[in-house]
Structure 1
Amino acid sequence: MALRHRLAALDHRIQLKGDDTKHEQTDAWSNRDLIPLPPSRRTWDWVNYYGFWAIASLNLANWQTPSTYLTMGLSVPQAMLIIVISRILIALFSTLVAWIGLTWHIGYTVQNRYSWGMRGSYIPLLQRILLNFIWNAVQCWNGGRLVAVCLTAIFPSYARMKNTFGPSMPATTDQFVGFVVFWFLSTPFLWLRPENFKIPFIVVCVWCGTGMMCWMIWGLSVAGGVGPLWSSGQQVPATSLFSTSWLIMAGINQGIGGLAAGITNGSDFSRYAKGRRHYVIGTISSCVVTGVLVSLIGLVTAAAGQKIYGEVYWNPPDLLMRMMENGNGSSKARAGVFFLAAGFAFTAMFENICGNAIAGGIDLAGLFPRYINIRRGAIITFIAAWIVQPWQLINRATTFIAVLSSFSVFLAPIIGIMTCDYYILRKRKVRLSHLYRTQDSSYNFWKGVNWRAVVAWLCGWAPTIGGLIVTVRGDLNPPKALVQLYYMAFLIGFFISAGVFYLLNLISPVGDMDQVDAVDVYGTFTEAEARRVGVAPLEEGSIYGLSTTRQSDSDVFVDAEKRV
């Protein structure tokens, strides 16, 4: 009996607490971080969204993007064309997904409940959690490499550190120390709530953006221009199975797929917007303009480095180490390298925290709302890096990383379902109160699962999974049709799943899909917003005698078309 009381007391202690007067109920489907955000918590302006997308641009991967397409045999203009088109499409798809967060102020975790069912939403949720765990670990390892460069700049002997690991460890001591330092330096930022990200975003943009520009100017000045890389023409091998057009298509697919996870969680962050214009201005200016400029700067700097050192260094840590001659360079060289590496490292740190740890925290909160909020979930995601062991993935399992990078094959169908359901079938109407309960919920479907979404999702990735397998496996003579389908995987998955989901809803329709709550029971909207979406403001609900408690009001709804 005493043990039972202790366990009950412990359970009560670790359960999350919310302010019921602010509709922050904590139960099996809801907590403070999952409810529709009230105006007081929507603090992001266009600077925040510029910074949000900047951390997805001012990084190693985007810097090296042109190398991927040049390696395929494409020319510099063709590589830049792919980058421009990819970035425009990323901004478009991101806005499609994020618009529900701008309108109804709910995130990806809750958003999927009305498409997949209350329990069916665990399917897309678990996919994202898996990705967040693995990518967080990989990003920590990559950030550790930049920390190792910083440590070499401060302590030149660091680059010559003795490797104390045995042959069974696929990493060196200096690499592992860099990972540990990066992990511990990142941890304090997990206590920051998304509402307070503005200052770190500004620091990242100014520091890393300035560093990149200075690096490019230095390279051009020392080299006296760019090297042969800049004028690389088309060099597609005569033995290539695919024409230039197909290679460009593959590049666009890869460009979008690389940020597919970020596209899906668009509403997780758009719900923090002060207004729609802030999201649109910040996203377009940063995702498109900054994203293209960073790739261009990376290309110019690599071309200048080729003229200086006689070879091409696409990976910034490698070029930085060469610039200071692996720690033996001058103090000026080491100071400049430290500034650059620290800027890249801080960007990688906050990109990882925002895009993986915080996103993982939101998703974990959706699985265990009573016990996990964003902060606890982010900490769990970060601790999981030690279980994932990224040094094993990076240095050994190259095939696994290739599969991970191609996970958009499974994410694109999810985006297609989300888009079709919200814009076409539900006519941009959501019954918020029914997203936080299973009893008598419009979104419970069959035992909590909407079978239509499951079938549509399977149909979306079935045509492209074969191409993914043969590509990752490295088959010498794969079936051409399979690979061509894989080269269009994102668009194919998006449109097939959207189309199948629409047809299934015509064949087996769901009733009352375009209805909303009668009253803003969560106090989510301003007066203007409430009238825009067709619900009565919370105060008006009280005036007209409508209950404003969550449990009773969730049963009160009327057709939005009949309401003023």
Structure 2
Amino acid sequence: MALKHRLVSLDQSIRLKGDEALHEQTDAWSNRDLIPLPPWRRTWGWFNFFGFWAIASLNLANWQTPSTYLTMGLSVRQAMLIIVVGRLLIAMFSALIAWCGLKWHIGFTVQNRYSWGMRASYIPLLQRIMLNFIWNAVQCWNGGRLVAVCITAIWPSFARIPNTFGPDMPTTTYEFVGFVVFWFLSTPFLWLRPEKFKVPFLIVCTWCGIGMLAWMIWALAAAGGVGPLWYQGQTVSATSQWSSSWLIMAGINQAIGGLAAGITNGSDFSRYARAPIHYAIGTVTSCVITGILVSLIGLVTAAAGQKLYGEVYWNPPDLLMVMMDSGNGSSGSRAAVFFLSAGFAFTAMFENICGNAIAGGIDLAGLFPRYIDIRRGAIITFVAAWVVQPWQLINRATTFISVLSSFSVFLAPIMGIMACDYYILRKRKVRLSHLYRTEDTCYWFWHGVNWRAVVAWMCGWAPTIGGLVVSVRGDLNPPRALVQLYYMAFLIGFFISATIFYLLNLAFPVPDMVQYDEVDVYGTFTAAEARRIGVVPLEDDTSIADIQRDESGIHVEVGDEKK
């Protein structure tokens, strides 16, 4: 009996508490971070979104992007064409998926409930959680490499530290120390809530942006111009089974797929916007312009480095180590390398915290709303890096990383369902009060599962999964049709799932899909928003009999759209 009492007491102590007066009820489907965001929590202006996309651009992966396409045999012009087209499509799909968060102020976790059903919404949610865990670990490892360069710039002897690990450990002491330091330096920032990200975004954009420009200018001045890499033309073999057109298509698919995880949960962050115009300006200017510029700067710097050192260094940590002669260079070169590597590391830190840890926190909150909020979920995601052991993934299982990069095969169909349901079937109407309960809700479907979404999702990735398998496996002569489908996986998955989902809803219609609450149940909207949507603010509603409270929270029994 005493044990039971202690367990009950422990359960009550770790449960989340919410302010009922602010509609922050905490139950199996809701908590403070899952309810529609009220106006006072929507603090993101255009610069917040500029910074959000900037940290996704000012990083190692985007710096090295041109190398991916050049190694396919494409020319420099073709590589930059892929980057420009890819960035434009990323901005377009991001706005398409994130607009629900801008209007109804709900995130990805809740957004999927009206498409998949309350229980089946765990299918896309679990995919996101798995990706957050693994990508967080991988990003911590990549950030650790930059930290190791910083330490070497201060103490050159660190580059010669003896390896204390045995032959069975697929890493060195040098790399592992960098990972540990990066992980511990990142941890305090997990306590920052998304509402407070403006200052870190400003620091990251300024520091890393100036550092990249300075690095390119120095490389061009020191080398006296760019090297042969800049003038590289198309080198596709005449015997290749793929023309340059197909390789460009594959590159565009890869460009979008690399950011598919961030596009999918765009509403997690768009819901923090003060107004849609802030999201539009910040996203377009940063996602497109900054993304293209960083790839261009990386290309120019690598080309100038080729002229300086006689070799092409695409990976910034490698080039930085060469610049300071592995720590044996002058104090001036070590100081410059420290500034550059620290800027990259700080950017990697906030890209990881915002894009993986915080996003993981939101997703985990959807699994266990009574016990996990954004902060707790972010901490769990970050601690999971030790369980994932990124040194095993990076240094041994390169094919596993390829699989992760190609996970858009499964994410694109999810986006297709989201877009079709929100824009075409529901006509941009969502009944918020029905997203947080299982009784008397139009989003319960069949035992909490909308089978139409499950079927449409599977149809979306079925045509492209074969190409993913043969590509990752490295088959020498794979079936051409499979690879061609894989080269268009994102667009195929998106539009097939959207079409199948639409047709299934025509054949097996869901009654009254176009619904919304006529009363602002959660105090979500400003007066201007309420007028625009046609919602009555809760405090202005005189039909108090229409508002009922049950054990799942406040909800409203009015509001089918008048037709």
Asked if the contact 1:76–1:232 (Cα under 8 Å) also holds between the matched residues in 2, the reply is: yes
Q: What TM-score, normalized to structure 2?
A: 0.99
Secondary structure at 2:216's aligned position in 1?
Answer: helix
Partner of 2:373: 373
In 2: Cα distance, 1:523 partner to 1:548 partner: 15
Q: Deviations over 1:418-444 (max 9, x none)?
A: 000000000000000000000111101
In 2: Cα distance, 1:555 partner to 1:105 partner: 18
Partner of 1:129: 129
Partner of 2:468: 468
Partner of 2:226: 226
| Mapping for residues 250-261 of structure 1, pairs under 5 Å | 250-261=250-261
Partner of 2:541: 541
In 1: Cα distance, 2:542 partner to 2:193 partner: 32
Aligned residues: 562
* CA deviation after TM superposition for structure 1 residue 528, in Å: 1.3
Asked if the contact 1:434–1:443 (Cα under 8 Å) also holds between the matched residues in 2, the reply is: yes
* CA deviation after TM superposition for structure 1 residue 532, in Å: 1.8
| Mapping for residues 51-66 of structure 1, pairs under 5 Å | 51-66=51-66
Asked if the contact 1:109–1:125 (Cα under 8 Å) also holds between the matched residues in 2, the reply is: yes
Asked if the contact 1:515–1:557 (Cα under 8 Å) also holds between the matched residues in 2, the reply is: no
* CA deviation after TM superposition for structure 1 residue 546, in Å: 4.1
* CA deviation after TM superposition for structure 1 residue 531, in Å: 2.1
- Which amino acid in the other structure matches residue 143 of structure 2? G
Partner of 2:34: 34
Partner of 2:349: 349
Asked if the contact 2:29–2:369 (Cα under 8 Å) also holds between the matched residues in 1, the reply is: yes
In 1: Cα distance, 2:460 partner to 2:84 partner: 26
Secondary structure at 2:64's aligned position in 1?
Answer: helix
In 2: Cα distance, 1:168 partner to 1:277 partner: 54
In 1: Cα distance, 2:261 partner to 2:239 partner: 34
Asked if the contact 2:547–2:555 (Cα under 8 Å) also holds between the matched residues in 1, the reply is: no
* CA deviation after TM superposition for structure 1 residue 543, in Å: 6.5
* CA deviation after TM superposition for structure 1 residue 530, in Å: 1.3
In 2: Cα distance, 1:373 partner to 1:542 partner: 34
- Which amino acid in the other structure matches residue 168 of structure 2? S
Asked if the contact 2:109–2:363 (Cα under 8 Å) also holds between the matched residues in 1, the reply is: yes
* CA deviation after TM superposition for structure 1 residue 387, in Å: 0.3
Asked if the contact 1:541–1:547 (Cα under 8 Å) also holds between the matched residues in 2, the reply is: no
* CA deviation after TM superposition for structure 1 residue 240, in Å: 1.2
- Which amino acid in the other structure matches residue 309 of structure 1? Y
In 1: Cα distance, 2:410 partner to 2:483 partner: 16
In 2: Cα distance, 1:137 partner to 1:40 partner: 33
- Which amino acid in the other structure matches residue 456 of structure 2? A
Secondary structure at 2:25's aligned position in 1?
Answer: coil
Partner of 2:265: 265
Partner of 1:194: 194
Asked if the contact 2:216–2:300 (Cα under 8 Å) also holds between the matched residues in 1, the reply is: yes
| Mapping for residues 198-347 of structure 1, pairs under 5 Å | 198-347=198-347
Asked if the contact 1:30–1:369 (Cα under 8 Å) also holds between the matched residues in 2, the reply is: yes
Asked if the contact 1:76–1:231 (Cα under 8 Å) also holds between the matched residues in 2, the reply is: yes
In 2: Cα distance, 1:324 partner to 1:299 partner: 20
| Mapping for residues 3-42 of structure 1, pairs under 5 Å | 3-42=3-42
* CA deviation after TM superposition for structure 1 residue 31, in Å: 0.2
In 2: Cα distance, 1:44 partner to 1:522 partner: 20
Secondary structure at 2:444's aligned position in 1?
Answer: coil
* CA deviation after TM superposition for structure 1 residue 110, in Å: 0.3
Partner of 2:44: 44
Asked if the contact 2:48–2:197 (Cα under 8 Å) also holds between the matched residues in 1, the reply is: yes
* CA deviation after TM superposition for structure 1 residue 537, in Å: 1.3
Partner of 1:513: 513
Asked if the contact 2:547–2:556 (Cα under 8 Å) also holds between the matched residues in 1, the reply is: no
Partner of 1:557: 558
In 2: Cα distance, 1:198 partner to 1:260 partner: 24
* CA deviation after TM superposition for structure 1 residue 490, in Å: 0.1
Asked if the contact 1:94–1:263 (Cα under 8 Å) also holds between the matched residues in 2, the reply is: yes
- Which amino acid in the other structure matches residue 556 of structure 1? E
238-247 vs 275-284, greater mean Cα deviation: 238-247
- Which amino acid in the other structure matches residue 111 of structure 1? Q
In 2: Cα distance, 1:82 partner to 1:52 partner: 22
Asked if the contact 1:140–1:182 (Cα under 8 Å) also holds between the matched residues in 2, the reply is: yes
Partner of 1:173: 173
In 1: Cα distance, 2:152 partner to 2:553 partner: 63
Note the residue ranges of structure 2 that are not aligned, 5 or more in a row.
none
- Which amino acid in the other structure matches residue 223 of structure 1? A
In 2: Cα distance, 1:234 partner to 1:416 partner: 34
| Mapping for residues 374-453 of structure 1, pairs under 5 Å | 374-453=374-453
76-85 vs 238-247, greater mean Cα deviation: 238-247
Secondary structure at 1:235's aligned position in 2?
Answer: coil
- Which amino acid in the other structure matches residue 74 of structure 2? L
* CA deviation after TM superposition for structure 1 residue 386, in Å: 0.2
- Which amino acid in the other structure matches residue 430 of structure 1? V
Q: What TM-score, normalized to structure 1?
A: 0.99
In 1: Cα distance, 2:356 partner to 2:61 partner: 15
* CA deviation after TM superposition for structure 1 residue 26, in Å: 0.3
- Which amino acid in the other structure matches residue 308 of structure 1? L
Secondary structure at 1:558's aligned position in 2?
Answer: coil
In 1: Cα distance, 2:29 partner to 2:483 partner: 42
In 2: Cα distance, 1:198 partner to 1:555 partner: 36
In 1: Cα distance, 2:49 partner to 2:201 partner: 9
* CA deviation after TM superposition for structure 1 residue 548, in Å: 7.1
| Mapping for residues 87-98 of structure 1, pairs under 5 Å | 87-98=87-98
Partner of 1:2: 2
* CA deviation after TM superposition for structure 1 residue 559, in Å: 2.8
Secondary structure at 2:170's aligned position in 1?
Answer: coil
Asked if the contact 1:534–1:560 (Cα under 8 Å) also holds between the matched residues in 2, the reply is: no
- Which amino acid in the other structure matches residue 142 of structure 1? N
Asked if the contact 2:459–2:496 (Cα under 8 Å) also holds between the matched residues in 1, the reply is: yes
Asked if the contact 1:519–1:548 (Cα under 8 Å) also holds between the matched residues in 2, the reply is: no
In 1: Cα distance, 2:117 partner to 2:106 partner: 16
Note the residue ranges of structure 1 that are not aligned, 5 or more in a row.
none
Secondary structure at 1:236's aligned position in 2?
Answer: coil
* CA deviation after TM superposition for structure 1 residue 560, in Å: 2.6
Asked if the contact 2:518–2:558 (Cα under 8 Å) also holds between the matched residues in 1, the reply is: yes
In 2: Cα distance, 1:478 partner to 1:289 partner: 37
* CA deviation after TM superposition for structure 1 residue 536, in Å: 1.1
Secondary structure at 2:165's aligned position in 1?
Answer: coil
* CA deviation after TM superposition for structure 1 residue 538, in Å: 1.3
Asked if the contact 2:139–2:352 (Cα under 8 Å) also holds between the matched residues in 1, the reply is: yes
- Percent identical across equivalent pairs? 79
Q: Deviations over 1:61-97 (max 9, x none)?
A: 0000000000000000100000000000000000011
In 1: Cα distance, 2:304 partner to 2:199 partner: 33
Asked if the contact 2:115–2:417 (Cα under 8 Å) also holds between the matched residues in 1, the reply is: yes
In 1: Cα distance, 2:163 partner to 2:329 partner: 22
C-alpha RMSD over aligned residues: 1.0
* CA deviation after TM superposition for structure 1 residue 552, in Å: 7.9
In 2: Cα distance, 1:201 partner to 1:466 partner: 40
* CA deviation after TM superposition for structure 1 residue 547, in Å: 2.5
* CA deviation after TM superposition for structure 1 residue 545, in Å: 5.6
In 1: Cα distance, 2:541 partner to 2:560 partner: 16
In 1: Cα distance, 2:407 partner to 2:542 partner: 48
Partner of 2:104: 104
In 1: Cα distance, 2:2 partner to 2:263 partner: 50
- Which amino acid in the other structure matches residue 222 of structure 2? V
Secondary structure at 2:559's aligned position in 1?
Answer: strand
Asked if the contact 1:102–1:275 (Cα under 8 Å) also holds between the matched residues in 2, the reply is: yes
Secondary structure at 1:515's aligned position in 2?
Answer: coil
- Which amino acid in the other structure matches residue 154 of structure 1? I
- Which amino acid in the other structure matches residue 559 of structure 1? D
